[in-house]
Amino acid sequence: MPFTLPLGSKPPYFSLKGTDGKTYSLDDFNSARLLVIFFTCNHCPYVTGSDEVTRTTAENYLNHGVRFVGINSNSLETVPEDSFGEMVKRMEEKRFPWIYLHDDTQEVARAFGALRTPHFFVFNEERHLIYCGRGVDSPKDAKEIKVNDLERVLAESISGKQVSIPLTNPIGCNVKWAGKDAKWMPPEACDLVPREES
């Protein structure tokens, strides 16, 4: 069994508290034409460097029935900035066009096989996974972005096309797992796409 959810999979069920004080489950997004679930956080430079690009994509596709759900699974023992209180402050300040949920047990991150922040999972109307990986090719420095994979996937799907590249490697900081070194990755975690030898 691979660590990260394979293409074609259904999203694991979740019920998590949002920064707006409400609890959300997968069922709350049943009406979405496409559902983008992404693992994110408050502090990671790859997240903060690309959040505005993600915002633009979310806003561009809102009228097409695409819903975005951000999930923070980082251990606050490792990074205190990733606490729920800081999540609330960040959403109050930034007002991102997505629901921001707290996975304090990290069970949801493990169920999805989240590798990094950010890590995007796109599900179609039947809730099959059609894309998994990075949002853009330069999340740390938006000025250097040449490829926006998330935008491409949504455009292809909305227009009825098959996703041309369904799998990429997420680019970012690794998920901060409770009780582990900040750089630790689960032993069964691996690249989604083999990397070329340099």
Give the pLDDT of residue 197.
Answer: 52
In the chain, which residues have pLDDT < 50?
198
Q: Which tokens in the block code for residue 40? A: 């994110």
Q: pTM to 2 decimals? A: 0.97
Domains defined for the chain, CATH in brackets: 15-174 (3.40.30.10)
Contact assessment for residue 90 and residue 10, using Cβ atoms and an 8 Å cutoff: no
Give the pLDDT of residue 198.
Answer: 43
Q: DSSP E strands: which ranges in the chain?
A: 15-18, 23-25, 34-40, 66-72, 99-102, 116-117, 119-123, 129-133, 173-174
The predicted-structure confidence for 9-49, as pLDDT tens digits, reads as follows 999 999 999 999 999 999 999 999 999 999 999 999 999 99
The predicted-structure confidence for 179-191, as pLDDT tens digits, reads as follows 999 999 999 999 9
Inter-CA distances, 148 with 43, 86, 167, Å: 22, 28, 13
